[in-house]
Structure formats: C-alpha cells, structure tokens
C-alpha cells in the first residue's frame, strides 16, 4: 500500500500552470528524489504532498485520505517538511525549535510531557544537534541550522519526510552523515522519504526512485538507471553529459562535459 498516491494532479498559481497531469506513487520503504531545472515545480510538488497547497484537479492521497480532508494538525502528524531556510527574527533556543515539532501532537493548554521530551532528545541525537541544544538558533551556521530543522521534522514523528534542498548547505562530512541517517530512518523506521535536490549524482546514488520534472510535467520517472541518461539530461537541462557507472555500487554517475 503506497503512502502517497498522486493521480493526474494539476495546479496553477493565478493563471500560470505550475504542475500538470502529474501522477506517481511513493511506497513506505522508498527513497524518492525529485530533480529538475529551476522553476520546474519541485517545491510546489512538495507543498501539494503536505497539503499546504491543494490541487486544482486530480487527487493527492496521503495514507488513506485525500489531502483536502485533513485538518492542518492531523496532516502535520503524517507529513513533515524540512524547508530550505527559516527566517530567524526572534532568538529561540535550539531545543525550543525542536520542541515545536511536537506542536501537532499537543492541545492548546497542554505542556510537553516526558514522552515529548524523550522524542525530542532522540531526534536531536539522530541529527547530532545535542551539543548546541542550549545555543540560540540564529547564532548557528547554515549547516547546523539545517540539522536542527531536520530534528524538528523528526520530532513530528511523521510517516513521510519531505526535504527541500536539505543537503545544499552541508559540508561533505555532514552530507554523508545526513544521507546515512536518511537511509537508516527509511530502512529501520519505515519512513518514506521524498527529497528535492539539484545534485543529480546524489539522487542517483541514494534514491530508489527518481522523478524528473520538466516545466511542471513528469519527464521521466523510474529507478536511477532509467532516468539518468545522457539523452534526458540533454533535453531537460540542455547540457552534454557523460553517464557511466559509479565504481562502488554501479549506480549511474554523471559527468558534465564542457
């Protein structure tokens, strides 16, 4: 039973069509990458999955229900999103930021209990953020902030984790650690993961399935070997590439030709 089912989704901002006739499914144990040029609708697609945007036509199912049938808090317990960046106008402690992930599980007048703190603790251990729990969020580096935001998403205890360019600000060590973490969550906790990235090799090496978006439509969908081809890259990105096999695990590897 797939955890996300999108059927012929259409969506437009004002008059401009951003997503057209998009259909795909995401299974529980799957890592799905969404790639595509700037403005191809990747972020919009993520927002359609977590219900903060509703399709103009077509159906988006998360779990058993259509996204428009969910209350905001209810869907926030199923789907968590890690944004690219958050503005930090007011100084919050890192721990407070992660605790906010518990919001969808709490009533208005209820304080967090031991269980909530335990979940937050775990989320911070997994993301390696415990060291700066008592520091202020706005004083952290971009990479550290990104990890805190991931911890907050994990504290939501979702079934689906959406990531919008989350590796963009991470250095190599943390990028690797982060991908290992994602795979762990995916394999051990059965968390479905959908990530948007510009790094095609990263997608090719780590995703089970890749969705290649082009002008709001799905240009190609399938396993990395099916999607990452010199022809697809030429047509979508208008660049010449060489695709060969990664020496370690034989996943497709792309090299830019100049």
User: Which member of 103, 169, 214, 219 binds other proteins (CB under 8 A)?
Assistant: 103
246's CB contacts (< 8 A; 6+ apart) are 204, 205, 252, 253
Q: Which residues pair with 59 in a beta bridge?
A: 7
- Residue 223, SS3 per DSSP: coil
**Of residues 80 and 220, the one with the C-beta less far from other proteins:** 80
The C-alpha atoms of residue 25 and residue 29 are separated, in whole angstroms, by 12
Find the part of the chain contacting other proteins (CB under 8 A) among 34-42, 70-78, 178-186, 216-224: 70-78
Q: Is residue 218 at the binding interface for other proteins, with CB under 8 A as the rule?
A: no
Is 101 one of the binding residues for other proteins (CB under 8 A)? yes
Rounded CA-CA distance 176/173 in Å is 5
Q: Which is nearer to other proteins, 5 or 77 (CB)?
A: 77
Is 14 a residue that touches other proteins (CB under 8 A)?
no
- Structural contact between residues 97 and 118, judged by C-beta atoms closer than 8 angstroms: no
Closer by beta carbon to other proteins, 71 or else 242: 71
Q: How far apart are CA 109 and CA 209, in angstroms?
A: 42
Rounded Cα–Cα distance for residues 140 and 157 (Å): 24
Burial status of residue 205 (CB atoms within 10 A of its CB: 0-12, 13-18, 19 or more): middle
* Distance in angstroms (rounded) separating the CA atoms of residues 30 and 125: 23
Note whether 34 binds other proteins by CB under 8 A: no
Q: Are 24 and 220 in contact (CB under 8 A)?
A: no
Interface with other proteins (CB under 8 A), residue from 36, 41, 63, 104:
104
Stretch that binds other proteins, among 29-37, 81-89, 182-190, 243-251 (CB under 8 A): 81-89
Binding mask 131-170 for other proteins (x = CB under 8 A): ---------------------x---x--------------
Closest contact distance (angstroms) between CB of 18 and other proteins is 16
Tokens coding 146: 């990104």
- Please provide the size of the chain in residues: 258
- Tell me which residues in 176-195 interact with other proteins (CB under 8 A): none
User: Residue 210: beta bridge partners?
Assistant: 33, 222
Instruction: Report the residue from 54, 56, 69, 91 that binds other proteins according to the rule CB under 8 A.
Output: 91
Q: Which stretch binds other proteins (CB under 8 A): 104-112, 139-147, 167-175, 213-221?
A: 104-112
Nearer CB in complex with other proteins: 47/217: 47
Which residues sit at the interface with other proteins, rule CB under 8 A? 50, 52, 71-77, 80-81, 83, 86-87, 89-93, 96-97, 100-101, 103-104, 106, 108-109, 111, 152, 156
């Amino acid at each position: 039973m797939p955890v996300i089912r999108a059927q012929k989704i259409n969506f437009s901002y004002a008059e401009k069509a951003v997503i057209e006739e998009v259909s795909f499914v995401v299974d529980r144990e799957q890592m799905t990458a969404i790639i595509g040029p700037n403005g191809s609708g990747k972020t919009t697609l993520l927002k359609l999955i977590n219900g903060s945007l509703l399709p103009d036509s077509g159906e988006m199912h998360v779990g058993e229900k259509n996204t428009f049938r969910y209350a905001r808090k209810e869907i926030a317990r199923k789907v968590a999103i890690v944004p690219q960046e958050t503005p930090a106008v007011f100084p919050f402690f890192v721990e407070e930021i992660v605790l906010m992930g518990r919001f969808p599980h709490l009533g208005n007048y209820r304080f967090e209990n031991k269980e909530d703190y335990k979940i937050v603790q775990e989320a911070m251990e997994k993301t390696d953020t415990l060291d700066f729990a008592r520091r202020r969020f706005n004083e952290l580096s971009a990479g550290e902030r990104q990890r805190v935001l991931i911890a907050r998403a994990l504290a939501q205890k979702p079934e689906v984790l959406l990531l919008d360019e989350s590796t963009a600000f991470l250095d190599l060590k943390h990028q690797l650690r982060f991908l290992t973490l994602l795979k762990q969550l995916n394999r051990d906790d059965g968390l479905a993961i959908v990530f948007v990235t510009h790094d095609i090799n990263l997608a090719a090496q780590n995703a089970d399935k890749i969705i290649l978006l082009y002008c709001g439509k799905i240009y190609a969908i399938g396993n990395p070997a099916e999607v990452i081809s010199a022809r697809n890259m030429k047509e979508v990105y208008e660049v010449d590439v060489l695709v060969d096999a990664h020496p370690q695990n034989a996943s497709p590897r792309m090299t830019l030709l100049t």
